[in-house]
Structure 1
């Protein structure tokens, strides 16, 4: 694994605020100003906005709170590893399922190859969001994993509510929304054989302080194909809501996920249908369900205990699950 310690040290210095001259940084790290400049360029390639002013030095365009592995470990009761720069937190755990304890967590500051559903890229700039994956061994097997992304969505929203953040909703089957804009996504990947335990890796990416680069009037950017929102904007929209502490949020997410997955393993979907429907962003709204080449229009009526989405159509209430399914709000065209 490539050594990024110098860049991370520079970022830690810059995160303290103010200007830092190339000469001062070089003296503290034992290298030339030119070498510092090359490291700054590499940091910028991670998506960090660092600007320079002649005679003053380098400064972050906005404050940045870095994750603290020791602090995180003190707040959770499960194995946790912070790898600041990684290809993918999900892939890291998938490659090590035979060595991991169930409940093990990997967190990163930056993903070079972050991915979402159907192999889509997950845009992952350094320090702007929260990238977290958890490994879970499900002894009941792969069939028992049905609806797991719904359960994880419930856990994330409930963790946010513990932080005082209300109004976040769920979009079937694996996204979090705030005021009809995407806040977070969930990716569940599994391996195993029929009749044996399932190895599950559950990843999530939550927008915390995403920069609106080339964003149009609908909130779509050039490299993200749907409207999105950051948790910082959510907090600004809520009365008396303080800024999010990234370490506190990460620890709350890990602990809530751990207890929720334990609950799911013991009880299955029992109880989760009501918890999910309470948070359904599209409940009782006109929607369009796209399943491969099929398009079904109806009114969303939540989910059932199999994790299927329920639509009220001309044929009555029908359930849909599996395949290439996505749910789109089409109220604007009604």
Structure 2
């Protein structure tokens, strides 16, 4: 069973309701050794985790859709470095950052739910329980902070390839750290680092991928979004997805450490969502408009300005938007 802050009773309720079938209040009360009133109160609390629960008189309770809970046994099988699994965390990135001095390259953290998930520039990341993939991965880059350039692009390629191996075609990438599906945002990457010049750099690579967005959470997102579930009747296996992502990061980070961004550039360009499109680059209060012309060998965005000049822009506080969103 996964560790975490959700009470053991609620964990058991979630595990029983995960099949998407009806379970009567009396059945649940007997199994969990609770009163029916206590079951009802715990069910009410589960709604606060982003779960949609139907209540039908004479039938009981069921989820609006089945859940694919993380399988700890499968995820831990064959691993030689620690993998931390939680029911609930504030942030998987924050967990690894707090213990980075004790971490080994390849160490990872997953959670069924985040209470303070973060995206780039401190934006909140909507993280309902057992609906998406919340995964962070630690790597100690021996070359130091000077070798980190372009890492978010390389990780984007790693994740896209993992998703493609799971059967999801047409994954696209947006500079510098987003994944797109069918023209809408599917996931994001948040890389945090700690280190000093001349020393190895500790990296925590946060990966958030939308798997099955609950209708109750959709209104909290301020841009067009996609999820892997889509209109498919077959439930997405989040454990299999996590395994593919972990495998892709393990192989990809070794390659990045040895060769940098170079082996990922062509693969990134083949998935460039906004290549040759009119875009607006946000630099604080400043806006720069132009046509996106891909990336350079350092991973900088190449933007063709109105003058015809092609200028390269680095990461940091830059934010790319299609011009129709402005």
TM-score of the pair, normalised by structure 1? 0.91
Alignment match, 1:217? none
Which deviations, in whole Å up to 9, do the C-alpha atoms of 1:90-116 show, x marking residues without a partner? 011111111221111111111011111
CA distance in 2, matches of 1:94, 1:4: 25
After TM superposition, the structure 1 = structure 2 runs for residues 230-249 of structure 1, keeping only pairs within 5 Å, are 230-233=227-230, 236=232, 243-249=235-241
Q: 1:332 to 1:326 in 2, by over 3 A?
A: closer
Q: Measure how far apart 1:57 and its partner are.
A: 1.4
Does the 8 Å CA contact 1:75/1:251 hold for their aligned counterparts?
A: no
After TM superposition, the structure 1 = structure 2 runs for residues 272-287 of structure 1, keeping only pairs within 5 Å, are 272-287=264-279
Alignment match, 1:258? 250
Alignment match of 1:317 (pick from 310, 320, 326):
310
Structure 2: give runs of 5+ residues left out of the alignment: none
Residue 153 of structure 1 pairs with residue 145 of structure 2: no
Q: Which moved more, 1:162-171 or 1:14-23?
A: 14-23
How many pairs does the alignment contain? 322
CA distance in 2, matches of 1:24, 1:166: 42
Alignment match, 2:86? 83
Alignment match of 2:184 (pick from 172, 177, 181):
181
Does the 8 Å CA contact 1:289/1:327 hold for their aligned counterparts?
A: yes
Which deviations, in whole Å up to 9, do the C-alpha atoms of 1:7-42 show, x marking residues without a partner? 111111111332212222121112211221222122
Q: Measure how far apart 1:244 and its partner are.
A: 2.8
CA distance in 1, matches of 2:132, 2:28: 26
Does the 8 Å CA contact 1:4/1:85 hold for their aligned counterparts?
A: no
CA distance in 2, matches of 1:278, 1:79: 34
Alignment match, 2:9? 6
Which deviations, in whole Å up to 9, do the C-alpha atoms of 1:252-308 show, x marking residues without a partner? 010001100110000011122111111100011121111122222221111112110
CA distance in 1, matches of 2:294, 2:83: 34
Does the 8 Å CA contact 2:303/2:312 hold for their aligned counterparts?
A: yes
Residue 62 of structure 1 pairs with residue 59 of structure 2: no
Q: 1:75 to 1:65 in 2, by over 3 A?
A: farther
Structure 1: give runs of 5+ residues left out of the alignment: 215-220
Residue 126 of structure 1 pairs with residue 123 of structure 2: no
Alignment match of 2:213 (pick from 204, 210, 213):
210
Residue 329 of structure 1 pairs with residue 322 of structure 2: yes
Q: Measure how far apart 1:179 and its partner are.
A: 2.4
Q: 1:56 to 1:175 in 2, by over 3 A?
A: same
Alignment match, 2:299? 307
Does the 8 Å CA contact 2:86/2:112 hold for their aligned counterparts?
A: yes
Q: Measure how far apart 1:76 and its partner are.
A: 5.1
Alignment match of 1:222 (pick from 188, 194, 219):
219
Q: Measure how far apart 1:146 and its partner are.
A: 1.4
CA distance in 2, matches of 1:280, 1:34: 53
Does the 8 Å CA contact 2:92/2:136 hold for their aligned counterparts?
A: yes
Secondary structure (helix, strand or coil) at the match of 2:19 reads coil
Q: Which moved more, 1:176-185 or 1:285-294?
A: 285-294
Does the 8 Å CA contact 2:6/2:88 hold for their aligned counterparts?
A: no
CA distance in 2, matches of 1:9, 1:332: 44
Backbone CA RMSD of aligned residues: 1.9
Residue 268 of structure 1 pairs with residue 245 of structure 2: no
Secondary structure (helix, strand or coil) at the match of 1:2 reads coil
Which deviations, in whole Å up to 9, do the C-alpha atoms of 1:151-183 show, x marking residues without a partner? 111100011111121111000000011222100
Alignment match of 1:20 (pick from 18, 23, 26):
23
Q: Measure how far apart 1:200 and its partner are.
A: 0.6
